Each structure stands twice: as structure tokens, then as C-alpha cells.
Structure 1
Amino acid sequence: MAPSLCAAPYPEIPMSSSQNLLVELFVEELPPKALKKLGDAFAQVLLQQLRAQGLTCEDSQLTAYASPRRLAAHITEVLPKAADKQVSQKLMPVSVGLGADGQPTPALLKKLAALGADASAVAGLKRAVDGKAEALFYDSTVAGALLADGLQKALTEAIAKLPIPKVMTYQLESGCALPGWDSVQFVRPAHGLVVLHGTQVLVSVKALGLSAGAATHGHRFEAAVDPVVLRDADSYAQQLREEGAVIASFAERRAEIERQLQQAAERVGGGVKPIEDEALLDEVTALVERPNVLVCEFEKEFLDVPQECLILTMKANQKYFPLLDAEGRLTHQFLVVSNISPADASAVTGGNERVVRPRLADAKFFFDQDRRKTLASRVEGLAKVVYHNKLGTQGERVERVRAIARAIAEQLGGAELVQQADQAALLAKTDLVTDMVGEFPELQGTMGRYYALNDGLDTAVADAIEDHYKPRFAGDELPRGAAGVVVALADKLETLVGMFGIGNLPTGDRDPFALRRHALGVIRMLVEKDLPLDLQVLLEDAYRLMNESLANVGLQEPGKLVSRSLEKEGAVKVTTYRFLDDQTPDLLSEFIYDRLAVNLREQGFSVQEVEAVLALRPQRLSDVQKRLEAVRAFAQLAEAPALAAANKRVGNILKKADAEVQARVSEAVLAEAAEKDLYAALQAVAPKARQQFAAGDYTASLQTLAALRTPVDAFFEHVMVNAEDPALKANRLGLLATLHEAMNRVADLSRLAA
């Protein structure tokens, strides 16, 4: 009978020097999507806790292991006992601890007793000033933690801090440390604990009802021996590979799968290559202990189905790697990462081919059935799909998106673009009521394009139907054509305005409607497509059009809640509509500028540069990059610090003025030479800077203004702005307002001041 992994037959032996440490939890199959994170967290917390207790050396190295049935950590140079520490502990003020005769008070003796000392320690107490009073300090030596004790604490902490997606509760097996019906909570039932310090088993360490041993298990079917009894901490990976048929390292197993995938593709030939999918590779790595990649195939007739459908069902449902040809087209062959390596693999390949065939047949059936109805005939069905209880159905949402899309298209192009955008917006959501998207929601938009082309629609409209979801994530491509950009903008603006209008704003880490992603999508399209659209106009138009649309479904006055019934499959569903909050455009504008600021800082622009440009709230977001580059170039000039400081000073003076100051100057009122010189410099420099700004040459505009440094410095040195003469004061304020206006067209330069 194999020895129980709960047992601890190995006696503790004295520890004399640092050794390498191995800790392994042997469990039932762990959730594959969480395995890598679990393995890294388990190992990192163990190391951190041991290091905090002084049980590791400076050059201790960590190796994390994670396979479907184990979490483990190997740490080099772990001490059997932490070094003793000299501790100086404050006791109490001298006036409290010592009487007038210098003898210890009862309070001091009680405090010393609590620390394990007696009256004999009084003579060795130190005095030192602490704040305003002199205090007594007790110096003592604290013994360093023993490894067994420190590791127990570290292991308990590592288990407690695991990022477990969902905890299981299970009963412990009899014969273990906690027999009977006691229950334990963990990610999966644990069956073994290995703790080796060099060759020594730390039997006193326990976790999840298990006592430490030196035995683990290998592959369920292919292990050469069972259990695998480890010789020492350093032989763990080697013994598991040779005796247990397990590659314990997640990274090594992943690399081996990649190698075998490429090797198998080369055997197939014809320039095919496995599909690249990092998430799939991680998940498969978490499903196998010793990978064996095999080539399988399916009937070529299934290739008539859009390859996105076939690829998705193979990856999502079966964890297969489809093979693509040199042009990126799906072939009828695919790769399977098996967890067994039989001499004759035909049963494995045949079984996988039988399993995938019904999946592909379902996809083909859905595709054939969906094509029997046009997208246009499905528009009516969207009226039965509730989008949001305060914003109506998908059918009503489509009408709002159409209205916004038409308004944007009219600004960007002619009648053809308006017609294409309107048709695409009308049909963009219709694939939501198809069988294929009902089965595979990830294909929304993609299937809409295929069905649009099947209906004989224009390619630009079909592309826009697919692209209106883009960009779907950070780094995703933008819509291909103008119609796609228009509908994508309209769709995201409808979502943002609607959700902000009913108060569904993101909070902290919560963003259930992905509003941050939608905002970034709007930003990217406006910037990267260089669209001549003003942000505030876009938001106000969307807000107005959405309110008009909501009014058309039964609202009578702003702020009044109106309910009406929607018939759905015989049941009555009540949906409530209301007008959107009138602060929506301004709130949403601030939200978008905040997202833009974050994005620009991630691109490497400084906080000061970003704040200087966005403080002016430039409406053409496509101009922001050029403004930032101009500010960066200006900041390198020798005149920049002085002008930024002066600009800040001017701004403060104007804010403190009794009334709003107009940028007007009467040359006849100018009295001092310095203010006349500044006015003359402005007359010479400002028109040129203004022309350069109008031409979009922001860098040249700011550099032209650098010539104002000398007259500005002289003005503040020799001129009293708040003169006693009201006319003189008003004129000087007007001069500063003129200067401020000229200096702050590109950015608020005061934000660059130190």
C-alpha cells in the first residue's frame, strides 16, 4: 500500500546551516484559468514572509512551480534559524519609572516583568530624550525565529492570500491531522504537503489538515512510480519529470507546448502555422502535466462556414489550436495538446476528431439557418430585446444610434456617407437575434458582416456593421472605413451619454458597462483618424438627439417618469423611461478628458505637459498631440521657466481683479517705459504667433512668444499694476490680459511653473 501523503514518517534532524527549501501542496485539479496566478502568488508570499522573518539570505532565489495538481516553491539559501536581534524598547518616562530616590516604581517593575526581566535589569536601563521628556529604554536580545515556526506562519499566510476565484468546502480524510468530519476551505481538496529543507522533512509544519512529508504523486497514468519520494529539495523538478512524468514548471511546460506546436505544424507542411493565442496557450498549459501535441483533422466541407465560427468553437469549447495557411486562412487540420503519450495515438486523435465534428456541424447548421432571413427582416425583432430598463429596447437604441450617426456623417461627408452610416446603424445590432450569435456572443459584428454580404449589401456597409464595435480593447484596430468610424462613434456616444444620463457612472474599479473603454475608443478615433469634430458639439448633439428619441416613446416633460408595457412572449414587461440629466454633456466631457490625460501620461508625457494642454480643453482632440510636442519643445528653451512663472503671476493677478478684465489696451494711457516696451513687443510678436497658431504650427507659435521674456521681466520689475489711478490700473490689467491671451492659446503655460 502506498504511504499516505498525510503521514510524517521522517524524523526531524538538527539543522546546522542554510539549505534550499521546497514546499509543495498536492491538490485535485486546479482551475486552469487561475493556475499561473495561483502558482506565482503562492511562491511569492512564501518568500516574502520568510524574508520578513530573516530566514532567507541576500541571494536567495525563488522558483515557482504550478501544474494542474500542485502548487510549489523552491527557495535557495534558507536558514534553519534567523539571526538574533538587538531590540531597544521604550518603557516609560523617567519620572514615571523612577521615584525621587531613584528606585524603580511598581509600574516599571511590572513592565519589566512583562518583558521577562526583573529588578536587576533596572541598572542597565538607558535614558534618552523622547520628545520633551526623558524616557527609559530596555535593550534586549530577541531570539531569531526557527525555520519550522517561521515557515508555518509563512505557509498559513500564503494560503490565506491566494487569489482563489471560488472557494470549495470539503471534509478531511480520516487518518490525517484533523480526522473525522472536520471541513476545510480551499480552492480544491488538498491531499498532500511536502516540506523539505535540504534532505530534512519539517514534520511539524501543517496546512489544510495535512502534515508535511517527502512524498508526492506524479502523472495519473504515466508515472513510473507512485508515490514519488523526494530525495531532497533540489531533486524536485528532476524526480517529477523522470519518475512522475510531470513537468512541474509552468513556464517550462508552456515552452514545451510551443515547441511541439511548431514542430507538429512543420510536419504537416505547406507553410501552415498554429493560431497565436496567449490566453489559450496559458489555459492549455494549466490543463496538462506532460504535453503531447497531436495532429487531427475534420471534413473540408466545414470550411464553407466562416472561419471565425470554426476557430472560436475549437478554441473555446475544445481548447484546440487551429492551423492556418500562409495567408491566414483556416485549414481542415488542427492540433490537440494531449496529456497522455500512448505508443499508438490513433485512438486519441480519432476521439478528438469525433468530439469536434458535432461542434462544427452545429456551427454549419446555425450559419445555414441564419442566411435564410435577411438582416433587414430581423430589425423588428430588436424591439423585443430590452437594452436597459431606463433606456428602452435594442430597437429604440438602434434609432438613437442612427440619429447620432446621421448627424456625424453630415459633418464628415456627403449624402453617400450619410446613407451608408444610416443603413449600417440600422442593421448593426440585428445579428444579436441570429442563432449563431446566440450560441457564440463573441461573434457579434463579425457575423453581421457575413450576413450583410450574403444579403448583397455594399462592402462599406458590411464592414461598418462589423467594425462598429471597434476598438474593443486596448490596442485593437480601428474601423476600416468612414462609415465604420461614424457608426462606431455613434454607438459609443449613445452608450456613454445614456449611461451618464441615468447616473450609471464608473466607480473605483467597477465599470460594468465598460464606459472607460468606450471613452478611450472615442478618443482614439477622434485622434488617430484626425477627425475635424469638436468634442463638446459631439456630446451636446448626442444628448439632444437621445432626449428627442426618448420623448418619441412617450415622455411628455423633462424629469417626469413615464412607464409603458412591452409585450414579450405573452408576458408583460414594464420598462421605465426618463429624460437624461441636463448635466450629462459636461460630466461626460470631464470624464473623457480624464481618460485622455491618463492615456497621454501612459504614452510618456509628463503630468505638467498634459495638464498645461488639457487645461484649455481643446475641442479638436486630434490637435492635442501637436500641442504637447510644442509644449515639450518650449520647455527646453532658456526663456521658458521665467515666462511660465510670469504667466502664473499674471493669471493670479487677473483672478484677483475686482471685475472681469477685458484684453484691451489704450496706448495713450501707458505711462512707464517698461509697460510701453511690453505693449510694443506684443504688437510685434502676437500677430505672428497668432498666425502660426491658426496654421497649426504650435511649436513655432510658442517659440515666437519666447521673445517676450525680457519685456515681461522688465514690466514686473518696474511697473506697479495696482496703481492708485483707476484708469492706469485698468489699462495695465488690460495689458496683462492681452499678454495672457497671447501666451495661452496652445496651452496654459503657468502649469509649467515650478
Structure 2
Amino acid sequence: MMTQNLLVELLVEELPPKSLKQLGDSFAQLLTASLKAQGLMSQEAAVTAYATPRRLGVHIGNVAAQAADKAVTQKLMPVKVGLDAQGQATPPLLKKLASLGADASVVPQLQRALDGKTETLFWDSIATGISLTDGLQKALQEAITQLPIPKVMTYQLADGWQSVNFVRPVHALVALHGADIVSVNILGLQAGRETQGHRFAAKISPIVLRNADSYAQQLETEGAVIAGFAERCFEITRQLTSAASQEQLTLIDDDTLLDEVTALVEHPNVLVGTFDAEFLQVPQECLILTMKANQKYFPLLDAQGKLANKFLLVSNIRPTNPTQVITGNERVVRSRLADAQFFFDQDRKKTLEFRVPELDKVVYHNKLGTQGWRMHYVRIIATKIGEQLGGDALGDQAFEAATLAKVDLLTDMVSEFPELQGIMGRYYAQHEGLSDDIAFAIEDHYKPRFAGDALPRNPVGVCVALADKLETLVNMFGIGEIPTGDKDPFALRRHALGVIRILIEKNLSLQLNELIDLVKNEIYNPLELDVSTPDLRDLQVFIYDRLAGNLREQGYTAQEVDAVLSLNPQKLSDIPKRLAAVRTFTALPEATSLAAANKRVSNILKKSEGHIHDAIHTKLLQEEAEQVLHQTLTTLLPETEKAFAAGDYTASLQILAKLKLPIDIFFDHVMVNVEDELLRNNRLALLRQLQQTMNRVADLSKLAVN
């Protein structure tokens, strides 16, 4: 069947820049998915998505004018309903056939087959393939309704009577199959071949598209528009890199900003702007953020990594003399930076300590009180963690840092730029002459803020970060604010992962259960708070679930992770060593046999009825095989205990290889569940000791091949 390339474009008013890339990709995906489902294009056809501030488009290769006919089997009705005693069609069957475009002449061709237990009539026919016009009409309607539109706009059509809903008003629809217009309509518009180029730089208006394949080329040459999002992004990156290099400065990488700027321009032109050097006295994070967030500029750094007083802007026009464009942008950025300088100067008129009482006026949670109330507990918890890790000196520093940790939330700068919380607290602390240990702890107690983020730089920051995250987890679980599905409004998954990373990567000796108990006992002290203490077992499960996912992402297998975490090791910093030991153990020739034996032991112990005694009576060890196993266990136990106590988990597991032969002989020659109760209980006690010896580092039964 003859095929040609297809182009579809919606010409719209300026689309939301933060969602443009997703809208463009989704529009292309939805259209192609529908056309494939209708048999109008192959699975391998090339698809190119286009997205600019004023258009969503897609180019699809090798689209058929009509889908191929296909055989269809239609279930009609039970034989006893459709045919009478003489085998003639009944009125219900004739009516059904008429609805399908057939008549009584096809009755002899009907097939009989069992549908469950009922003999049923089926009709094999050839369905005519759908035309591109009908198929594209359906695909467009589906795409329009399924697009991930952040906020729908309702607007009137040209007739002044009808209203339609879309992300922005649509002004034209293009649908070309090769050089032919596909007669479809959507949102009150009939498809044609005319589109618009750049609002100011287009050479021709309107642009009359010759065919589907000339779209991108005509838009660029006649309309001064780079239609492809990726191509436009590449061009902006090229110009930014070139401009930064000419200034002998370095561009700050920011993919999010780059995508947003790409979604704002159709004809990018990178220019260099300058601001007064006196603004560099303001913390560079403030200047960088205000330039990025408010003006969509690209800040530049010097060779020392310090902010330079130059920036790059991406204009949507290319005037012969860009001076006015540059001057106008410099005037705007000067006002923005002056605001930042004003906030910085005003904030420093009050010390952090002076602002502490104001935290009592900031609501933290309607069930949990104020930030002042919350930080009262955080500083006590941080102090106790500090005392455990570094004695009274670290405890005192943690108390001071936790007291000031949230105070910058009350400053003008953080009110304007919430992303600077912690960072501004560090600057203000340094301005007041506080030690770097305290200042960096104020900034770092939020870390890690996202996957791959750095951890707190010093022990003080570690104490406050752990206290802050654990207090949030315990309190939120205590009031039932537990994440469900993809909803996590209080970022508890991030807090849990932060606790995990700090404990493991900082190699802390702290026990997870003891930390949770510390926080719980401090917050729910019955002498201070007349509330019942919540059951926080779900919190430990939640943290271990996050830990399991994190370990799998690091490349450990599900079996390895399950083997280690099924023992609920409370010292999380030991887990990497345990996993390394398990991985080494699985490489041993005896590993498979020992894991299978361990699983067999676990199953026997699970099925045993009654209490299993700890003591093993040597006089009841009648069989030579059980005597040898007991003797081997007795010999190896001190070795494994010594290695385990020293944290040499690899050696502790490798010693177990000597158990393979005694275990194999035991199961070959000894019946555990004998009728004699004394013998049975003694053998169960022996197996229990074997299990405990083997499963100190990890539950080896989890490594058994099913």
C-alpha cells in the first residue's frame, strides 16, 4: 500500500515554558500510538516531535492513506437463539447481522464453536481498513483530551458562540500527507497548509508549506524558527559556550534553566550583559538565584569559581545593533540585584539569636505546633547524638547549631528565595563571627536534599541533620502522616534516605532502633506531654524499604539485599561490609549447598511444634553424623564469633565452608522428627544452633536457589 510522510501542527499562543518539552513529546507519542493502533503506520516508522513557544507538531514517516483490510471474527449469539429447529435464522440473528452490515445470505457461512460450555455462532468477515482522514481525526481527538496539560484554558471560537478547552488558544491546524491536505478538524479549526513563523523575524507570512517534509526547512528559512526542541537547545548551548569562552569565563550548567529558555525562544540569540561589581558583595548564591529564577539569565564564573559581574541572556530577536536589548536587560537585572542587596543588608541588622523567639510564631503543622516547639526537641536530640559521637564538646556545639538552624526562615532573603534556606543562615552566622563548625552545620543540616547531594561537612552538621530528619519522621508517623503511593507531601522518603546515607557513609556506630527510641522518648515524654506514645514499628519498616531500594540501585542483587536486611541490622554502617561478605561467600564452591541446607533447617524449625530448647545434651547425640556436626560447630563457633566481633564479616562467613560436609552427612543419615521427644528436641536444638551460627552476618537461606 502506498505510504507518504505525515505532518501535523497546532499553531497556538505562547505555551507554558516549564511544560513545553513534555507537551511536545506527549503530543507526538499520543498521535503515533493511535495511528499505530489503527494500522495506519508501522511500529518502526520514524517520528520527529516539534515544539516551540507557539507550536506543537509531529512528523511521521510512511503513513498509509488507508489501513489494510483485516480478517475479523465476530461473536454473534448462542446457536439456540440464532437458529430455529430447521436451522433457519431467527429474527434476533437477522437483526444482529443487519447491525453489522450483512443479511441472511451470510447465514450458511457462520461458524459454530464453543464459548465456554455454550455452542455459539461466529461470523468471519473482512473489515475495511480505516482511512487516514478518519484515523487522524480520531487520533487528534484522543491526543487533545489526553495531553498532560497543567491548567486548561477555556476560550471562544471565532464565531463568538462556541467555547473550547485547551492549554492555550489554537489559531491554525496543519495536516499534510505528503503534499495533500488531510481533511480533519479540531478545536473549531479546519486543517490546511498555512502556518506562521517568528512574530518579528519571519520573511514570509503566512508560510505556505509545500509538503510534510519541507516543514522544518521552511520554518527556518522563511519563518526564522528552529522548530525542533532538541535542535534549538543545541543551538543555544553552542552560543552560550562560545560566548562564555570569548569572555574567558565558565558557564554554570543548569539543564532545567536551559530547557525553560529553549521553551521561551524560537530564534535564539545569546548576548553578554554586565552588572555593577559592587553587587558581588552579596552572597553569590543570592545573585545567581535571582538571575536564574527571575530573569532566566545564565550567570558566569571566573577561574576561581567566583561569580563574575557578567551574564548571558538568550534573546528571541536578532537586531543589527543589540545595544538596546542588552541595556534594557542590564537595567532590569540591576533592579533585581539591588533588591537582593537590600534584603541582605536588612537581614544583618538583627542577629540570628535575636530572631529565635520569633520561631514560636511560625506554624510547623496544625497537629504539631510551631517551629519553635519543634526546634526545642531537635536541639535536645542533636545534643544527645553529639554527646554519643563526640562527648560534651560536640553536644554543646550541636545544641548551638540546632538552636539557630531554622532562624533564617524569618529573614527577608529566604522569604523571597526559599531555596536559600540554610545557605543564608550560614552567611549570617559567619557575618556574626560564629565558628565555621556552627555556620556550616546551619547550612548542611538540610543535606542531603536530593539524590546524590553531598552530606554534612562536619560532625556538628551530622548531629543536627540526623536530629532534624528523625524528629520529622517520628512526629509525622506519630500523627499518621505516612506516604501513600506517589504522595509524600512532607518528603519523608527523602528524610529517611538522608538518615540512611548519613549513618552509612559517615560510618557512624549509632543504632537505628536506639535513635528512634531516643527521639520517641524525648518527644512523647509522658511527664511533659499528655499523649499516648505511638507504635513506630512501621517507621523502621519504612526506613528499611528505602534502604533496600537504595542498595539495589547501587548494584546489589535482590537476594543479597534480602539476605542482609532480613536480620534487621540496627547498625546501618555495617551493611556495606555485610553485603561485601555475602558477595564473597556466594563465590565459594560450598555456598549453594550451604544456602540450600540453611533453607532446609529454617523450614524444619518453622514447622516444629512447641518450644525449642537452647541446650544441647551430648549424651542424646546418638548418631555419628550428629556428633560430628556438633563437634564441628563447637570448634568453629569461637572462630566465627571472633571474626564477627572484629567486624570481619567476610572471614566469619568463609569459616562456614567447613560445615558443608558435616551438614550433608547429617541430613543423609539423621532423621530429625523422630517419635522420641527427647531425641527430637535435642536435634532441633542442634539445628537451631547451626542456624544461629550461620546467620550472624546474613540469612543465608535467602541465597538458596528456588
Give TM-score scaled by structure 1 length.
0.91
Q: Which residue identity does 1:56 align to in structure 2?
A: M
Separation in structure 2 between the aligned mates of residue 109 and residue 673 of structure 1, nearest angstrom: 85
- Name the SS for the 2:267 alignment partner: coil
1:127 Cα deviation after fit? 3.5
- The match for 1:41 among 26, 39, 43 is 26
Aligned to 2:535: 583
Separation in structure 2 between the aligned mates of residue 332 and residue 168 of structure 1, nearest angstrom: 41
Q: Which residue identity does 2:288 align to in structure 1?
A: I
1:101 Cα deviation after fit? 4.1
Contact map agreement 1:27 1:70 (CA 8 A) in 2:
yes
Separation in structure 1 between the aligned mates of residue 210 and residue 370 of structure 2, nearest angstrom: 66
Separation in structure 1 between the aligned mates of residue 324 and residue 228 of structure 2, nearest angstrom: 28
Contact map agreement 1:305 1:367 (CA 8 A) in 2:
yes
Aligned to 1:429: 406
| 1:260 correspondence with 2:211 | no
Aligned to 1:477: 454
Contact map agreement 2:524 2:531 (CA 8 A) in 1:
no
Separation in structure 2 between the aligned mates of residue 464 and residue 25 of structure 1, nearest angstrom: 52
Aligned to 1:516: 493
1:164 Cα deviation after fit? 0.6
Aligned to 2:575: 624
Q: Which residue identity does 2:562 align to in structure 1?
A: E
Q: Which residue identity does 1:228 align to in structure 2?
A: I
Please, what is the CA RMSD of the aligned residues? 1.7
- Name the SS for the 1:257 alignment partner: helix
Separation in structure 1 between the aligned mates of residue 80 and residue 553 of structure 2, nearest angstrom: 57
Contact map agreement 1:681 1:708 (CA 8 A) in 2:
yes
- The match for 1:734 among 663, 685, 704 is 685
Aligned to 1:251: 230
- Name the SS for the 2:22 alignment partner: helix
Q: Which residue identity does 2:508 align to in structure 1?
A: L
Cα gap change, 1:109 to 1:318, in 2 (>3 Å): same
Contact map agreement 1:664 1:738 (CA 8 A) in 2:
no
- The match for 2:146 among 161, 186, 207 is 161
Contact map agreement 1:409 1:417 (CA 8 A) in 2:
yes
Separation in structure 2 between the aligned mates of residue 737 and residue 191 of structure 1, nearest angstrom: 77
1:266 Cα deviation after fit? 1.9
Contact map agreement 2:175 2:193 (CA 8 A) in 1:
yes
Aligned to 1:574: none
Contact map agreement 2:613 2:681 (CA 8 A) in 1:
no
| 1:27 correspondence with 2:5 | no
Separation in structure 2 between the aligned mates of residue 211 and residue 751 of structure 1, nearest angstrom: 64
Separation in structure 2 between the aligned mates of residue 106 and residue 643 of structure 1, nearest angstrom: 73
- The match for 1:190 among 145, 170, 177 is 170
* Larger deviation, residues 79-88 vs 621-630: 621-630
Aligned to 1:680: 631
Aligned to 1:571: none
Aligned to 1:367: 344
Contact map agreement 1:200 1:232 (CA 8 A) in 2:
yes
Q: How does 1:62-211 map to 2 (within 5 A)?
A: 62-132=47-117, 134-173=119-158, 179-203=159-183, 205-211=184-190
1:96 Cα deviation after fit? 4.6
- Name the SS for the 1:414 alignment partner: helix
1:713 Cα deviation after fit? 2.6
Cα gap change, 1:638 to 1:129, in 2 (>3 Å): farther
The Cα offsets for residues 634-657 of structure 1, whole Å up to 9 and x where unpaired, read as: 333343333223222222222233
Separation in structure 1 between the aligned mates of residue 162 and residue 84 of structure 2, nearest angstrom: 56
Aligned to 2:333: 356
- Name the SS for the 2:471 alignment partner: helix
| 1:643 correspondence with 2:594 | yes
1:722 Cα deviation after fit? 1.9
Q: Which residue identity does 1:253 align to in structure 2?
A: R
| 1:671 correspondence with 2:595 | no
Q: How does 1:204-283 map to 2 (within 5 A)?
A: 205-269=184-248, 272-283=249-260
Separation in structure 2 between the aligned mates of residue 637 and residue 101 of structure 1, nearest angstrom: 77
- The match for 1:452 among 429, 445, 453 is 429
Contact map agreement 2:50 2:229 (CA 8 A) in 1:
yes
The Cα offsets for residues 430-473 of structure 1, whole Å up to 9 and x where unpaired, read as: 11111111111111110111111111111111110110000011
Q: Which residue identity does 1:182 align to in structure 2?
A: Q
- Name the SS for the 1:689 alignment partner: helix
Cα gap change, 1:595 to 1:58, in 2 (>3 Å): closer
Separation in structure 1 between the aligned mates of residue 498 and residue 113 of structure 2, nearest angstrom: 62
Cα gap change, 1:91 to 1:710, in 2 (>3 Å): farther
Q: Which residue identity does 2:494 align to in structure 1?
A: R
Separation in structure 2 between the aligned mates of residue 339 and residue 598 of structure 1, nearest angstrom: 44
1:718 Cα deviation after fit? 2.3
Q: How many residues align?
A: 705
Q: How does 1:709-728 map to 2 (within 5 A)?
A: 709-728=660-679
- Name the SS for the 1:138 alignment partner: strand
Cα gap change, 1:49 to 1:526, in 2 (>3 Å): same
Q: How does 1:331-730 map to 2 (within 5 A)?
A: 331-548=308-525, 552=528, 555=529, 557-559=530-532, 581-584=533-536, 586-730=537-681
The Cα offsets for residues 351-395 of structure 1, whole Å up to 9 and x where unpaired, read as: 001001111111111111111221111111112212122222111
* Larger deviation, residues 380-389 vs 18-27: 380-389
1:314 Cα deviation after fit? 0.5
Separation in structure 1 between the aligned mates of residue 613 and residue 493 of structure 2, nearest angstrom: 39
Q: Which residue identity does 1:621 align to in structure 2?
A: L
Separation in structure 1 between the aligned mates of residue 307 and residue 693 of structure 2, nearest angstrom: 60
Separation in structure 2 between the aligned mates of residue 662 and residue 31 of structure 1, nearest angstrom: 70
Cα gap change, 1:705 to 1:74, in 2 (>3 Å): same
Q: Structure 1 vs Structure 2: percent identity of aligned residues?
A: 64
Contact map agreement 2:111 2:121 (CA 8 A) in 1:
yes
Separation in structure 1 between the aligned mates of residue 511 and residue 610 of structure 2, nearest angstrom: 30
1:705 Cα deviation after fit? 1.3
Q: Which residue identity does 1:282 align to in structure 2?
A: D
Aligned to 1:321: 298
Separation in structure 1 between the aligned mates of residue 102 and residue 170 of structure 2, nearest angstrom: 45
Q: Which residue identity does 1:449 align to in structure 2?
A: R
Separation in structure 2 between the aligned mates of residue 705 and residue 324 of structure 1, nearest angstrom: 58
1:58 Cα deviation after fit? 4.4
Contact map agreement 1:59 1:77 (CA 8 A) in 2:
no
| 1:52 correspondence with 2:72 | no
1:415 Cα deviation after fit? 2.4
- The match for 1:285 among 237, 258, 262 is 262
1:663 Cα deviation after fit? 3.2
Separation in structure 2 between the aligned mates of residue 597 and residue 403 of structure 1, nearest angstrom: 30
Contact map agreement 1:57 1:79 (CA 8 A) in 2:
no
Separation in structure 1 between the aligned mates of residue 657 and residue 93 of structure 2, nearest angstrom: 71
Q: Which runs of 5+ in 2 are unaligned?
A: none
Separation in structure 2 between the aligned mates of residue 58 and residue 591 of structure 1, nearest angstrom: 42
Q: Which runs of 5+ in 1 are unaligned?
A: 1-15, 174-178, 560-580
Separation in structure 2 between the aligned mates of residue 434 and residue 538 of structure 1, nearest angstrom: 32
Separation in structure 1 between the aligned mates of residue 609 and residue 124 of structure 2, nearest angstrom: 65
Q: Which residue identity does 2:62 align to in structure 1?
A: E
1:711 Cα deviation after fit? 2.2
The Cα offsets for residues 694-714 of structure 1, whole Å up to 9 and x where unpaired, read as: 222222322321332232233
1:121 Cα deviation after fit? 1.6
The Cα offsets for residues 387-436 of structure 1, whole Å up to 9 and x where unpaired, read as: 12222211121111111101111111122211211111111111111111
Q: Which residue identity does 1:600 align to in structure 2?
A: L
Contact map agreement 1:686 1:705 (CA 8 A) in 2:
no
* Larger deviation, residues 499-508 vs 286-295: 499-508
